[in-house]
Chains A and B, each alone.
Chain A
Amino acid sequence: MQSKFKVVHPGVHSLIQDNGRVGFAHLGVTTGGVADKQAYYWLNRMLQNEQNAACIEITFGGLKLHSLCEQVICLTGADMPLTINGQLQRNWCSHQVKSGDVIAVGYAKSGLRSYFGVHRGFKFEPQFGSCSTVVREQLGGLNGQALKVGDELGCDLLSTITNGEKKTTHVKCFALGVMDIPRYHQTVTIRVVLGYQYQAFEKNERDVFFNNEYLVSKQFDRMGYRLHGVQIHSNVQALKSEGICYGAIQIPPDGQPIILLNDRQTLGGYPKLGSIFSLDGDKLAQCGQGAKINFVEITAEHAKQLLIEAQSQRQSIQLKRFQPSSG
């Protein structure tokens, strides 16, 4: 018995992702990695996985898989209906599946990206320490490409047959309490750490940025989000290209902000106001065209404090045992 899942339908855009490629930006290799780290964190908690297990990031929805093994699955992130053999199942909850089961993920009702995983993660050969797919660089996942019909996703064998006797590794199912499930909104307040060339923006230009609402334009992807709203001007025209960190807010000559995310190019030459707070980046990555974005300023010290608090808070959350109704 082979332990794998087969792609029946890849959906709109489904990619193998993990925490991403860290430490290779000096070679021009981008980070990649899951766009919503919080949804990914819960996926791995629910599946009792290490925090870098390879999963599928499903954008918009539409993924259909054929299970060719016994496994435990889970879907977190955007609210996409999950069915096993046509039976609707809970999200943010792990489920047992058996060989022959058909798992379908519908289209997002709220949020944009969901995360589908299995116990111990999908098995891919890491490139530069990561299985994350970056299509532009043809790295990670399945030959650096998005999932397509017929692709096979290997995973750990949970049941083995020795001397005619079947032995199954028992994996418990867990659920995240309803109150702890993140909600995704189309109006998001993003906290910003001022940095890079923010002095190149005069006080009134910074005020424009912080006092106006920006809309996510139709140009948004894992590389970055182009926003649309009141123009912001800087005193800098072009810079020598310099490294770009996660969440950097770039202001090109048209005055419309671009927020750079996981698949950002490693170097850029536009002036930057600063960078968004990573926990808010997770929320932004769940937004699509037309979402409303407001910005507020925070200090780097405050951002650190909030991250430490968020980390200890989520660690203190207990998962609930979940008794599967099917399987």
Chain B
Amino acid sequence: MPFVILYFYIQAAEFMSQSTLNLSNYISTEIAGESALILYLTMAEYEGGNTSELIAALAKKLAAHLSSVITEVVPSYQSMLISFDLFKVDHLSLSRRIHALAAEVTLFDVDSAKEVTLPVYYHSSVGADLSRIAQQAKISIEDVIKIHQRPTYTVQAIGFAPGFSYLGDVDPKIITPRLNTPRTKVPKGAVAIANNQTAIYPQVSPGGWNIIGLCPTTLFDPNTEQPSLLSVGDKVKFLAIDKQQFIELGGKLDEYMVEDN
């Protein structure tokens, strides 16, 4: 008998956890432009983890159910820009439909994010700012590398450049502000830190983040069906590899170059 009660208790708890995540109560939508709405998640924190997971789950739901009227959804941290075809829908009716779909988001939707492990060749020869971060934090380079690998990061936003994924949060010990003057050329695959975030540069670009290593994995390939390896809400782990492994995984050191201003 106690067994049965326990069983029902678990069922009820599961049901509760799914039904109580009524995102409709935690979002607000406002006009952004003639054919765009901006949605804000008003919940600052939630027990399950990172709030950007909730935004990501809602973004997927909207993309799946409102693709006939929505042209873009841009999830980011605690907001989402929603552009729509104004010949098919208006701000008010779209807002109502979004709230109805938000009410249906469950923890199952949140858990559907994928986890990706990215190999990183951490070394001063390819991580121009590694030793400075260690000095500032008064720890060894090895510790910086260890600390950077420890968390499971969440993709909180994608932007700045195609496939550039903002990952959070970095351990407070290695939080480092952006460079005062951005570099004119950061190499493809550079793994870097800015404030409490970390990222990998998908292409060669200018940039002001602190570089600590190189990742051989292609993060953005415009010629594939899924051009960006990562989506908002995905989980990322970093794994240290050595130079040999980096090359075996397709990494190219001869293309590595950091230009300081």
Contact = CB atoms under 8 A, between A and B. Distances in A.
B163 A240 contact: no
A246 B159 CA distance: 15
Most A-side CB within 10 Å, residue of B74, B78, B160: B74
Given A243-B74, A243-B80, A245-B83, A28 B163 contact: yes
Interface string A6-28: 00000000000000001111111
B80 A300 contact: no
Range for the number of chain B residues in contact with chain A? 35 or more
A242 B222 contact: no
Nearest to B227: A27
Contacts of A277: 34
Contacts of A274: 31-33
Interface stretch (B7-15, B85-93, B136-144): B85-93
Contacts of B163: 27-28
Interface string A119-149: 0000000011000000011110000000000
Contact of A303 (B34, B159, B161, B222): B34
A96 to B, nearest CB: 35
B61 to A, nearest CB: 14
B79 A240 contact: yes
B76 interface: yes
Interface in B160-180: 160-164, 166
Given A29-B162, A265-B160, A127 B34 contact: no
Nearest to A247: B33
B29 to A, nearest CB: 11
B31 A267 contact: no
**Residue among B33, B86, B87, B228 facing the most chain A CB atoms (10 A cut-off):** B33
Contact of A194 (B31, B77, B166, B231): B31
A88 interface: no
A53 interface: no
Nearest to B34: A303
B63 to A, nearest CB: 8
B79 A242 contact: yes
A22 B220 CA distance: 18
A139 B161 contact: no
A219 B71 CA distance: 29
Interface of B: 30-36, 38, 59, 71-81, 83, 86-87, 90-91, 157-164, 166, 203, 220, 222-223, 227-228, 231-232
7 contacts: A25-B81, A26-B158, A28-B164, A28-B228, A128-B227, A196-B38, A301-B90
Given A277-B34, A300-B91, 18 more contacts: A23-B71, A24-B227, A25-B74, A26-B75, A27-B158, A28-B163, A137-B161, A139-B162, A193-B34, A195-B30, A242-B74, A242-B76, A243-B81, A245-B35, A278-B34, A278-B35, A301-B90, A304-B90
